[in-house]
Amino acid sequence: MIEERAKKIKLLILDVDGVLTDSRIIYNNFGDEIKCFNVYDGFGMTLLHRAGIKSVIITAKKTKIVKRRAKDMHVAKVYSGYKKLKIYENVIKKFKVKDEEVCFIGDDLIDLSVLKRVGLSVAPPEAIEEVKNSCYYVTKKSGGKGAVREVIEIILRSQDLWHNVTSAYQK
């Protein structure tokens, strides 16, 4: 059951394109990259932060947009590079967590090595088949359209933290 794995999570790691976004990369007339992020995912990240669970982004591309969004979402650190497994190994040492205490959400081949290591591997439904077949859970919501929030809610509810972080909004 996903709740059993989610109970152990102390660190959430996210890919960006296809997870926090819908995979599209848009360029404006000046050549600047534009990404669209989902407000529900962002607020979910705020709730995760309030619950005391850290988050990290590991993305292949280095962009100012991702760093800006990460700051808004209380992400502890943004790492960029194509060797995601090597970055992951540094992350678990830095945050002093074990594989089974990590949830990673990814969607493409570059994410497979990390997805195979973590305790809770997750993909959005648009992920490539190899990734979905390697993951413990495939979200109902799409990447960039609430998939991250869906996973955060599962983690917080399984750890009995949901009420604590949402009670102020339910009065």
pLDDT (tens digit per residue) in 54-79: 999 999 988 888 999 999 999 999 99
Mean pLDDT, rounded, for 41-64: 95
In the structure, what pLDDT confidence band is assigned to residue 161 with cuts at 50, 70 and 90? Answer: very high
Residues in Cβ contact with 31 at an 8 Å cutoff, skipping those fewer than 6 apart = none
pLDDT value at residue 157 = 98
pLDDT beyond 80 at 42: yes
pLDDT beyond 90 at 27: no
Domain 2-163 class, CATH top level = alpha beta
pLDDT beyond 80 at 148: yes
Residues in Cβ contact with 168 at an 8 Å cutoff, skipping those fewer than 6 apart = none
Going by the DSSP 8-state scheme, the letter that residue 144 receives in this structure is T
Mean pLDDT, rounded, for 43-58: 98
pLDDT beyond 90 at 3: yes
Domain extents in the chain:
2-163
In contact, 103 and 12? CB cutoff 8 Å: yes
Residue with tokens 């992400």: 75
pLDDT value at residue 28 = 87
pLDDT beyond 90 at 31: no
